[in-house]
Amino acid sequence: MFTFANPLVINLKNYNEISGNNSLKIAEVARNVLLSNHKDIIIAPPPSSVMALSKTKVPIVSQHVDDAPLGATTGFTIPEIVKSHGAIGSIINHSEHKIEHSQISNLVKRLRELDMISIVCADDLEEVEALSQFSPDYLAIEPPDLIGKGIAVSKANPSIITNSVQMVKSISPTVKVLCGAGIVDKIDVQKALELGAEGVLISSGVVKSASWYNKILELSSVLK
């Protein structure tokens, strides 16, 4: 299984800026940054782009997977299939695609059996406590009200990061905590790390930036 000490996870979402060939372009940019500073950079494209982007040799995770069986199932994103397309893991339970906790538990186990990483998202401390018990590889704390607002959670609500870290480590010490929501610059990343996070999950701060290369380089530069 892949392991990343302090990853910068870039969720491309379904922004128009990454439509067509642009998702491949941003992955190639990320690869150039990765080669220059040797930081842990992960791209999460829409499932339809996983295969194309995996050829860039940048670590790729799916934005979502479904707890549906391999075989005669239509319209679902299946872990075994995204792995065959080159994905090394998946985001699970993003605030824009919530699923039942029983499904999260099943998917964390399923991904682990496939030697794939799980990045499980939690909205608040109550969900952090519940989802930590499933021992995902990464747990990302992302208050929904701050996502895409340009106000970093490390500034708006720093205690939720420190409290999340303490709670996660008390329940499942091997889980790495990521910080998301509103991150726009390296100061936000540095603050998140100081508060105990071990990486960040970001989207619009990169995708909608004036220069993908400069922004990815800036954000990853402060990672260990």
Compute the distance between CA of residue 180 and CA of residue 19 in angstroms, rounded to an integer: 23
Q: Measuring CA to CA, how many Å separate 68 from each of 1, 92, 99, 119?
A: 22, 14, 12, 18
Spatial distance between the Cα atoms of 95 and 15, rounded to a whole number of angstroms: 16
Active site residues: 94, 142
| Angstrom distance (rounded) from CA 82 to CA 100 | 21
Phi, psi angle pair for 60, to nearest 5°: -120, 130
Tokens of 48: 């339809």
Contact 64, 97 (CB under 8 A): yes
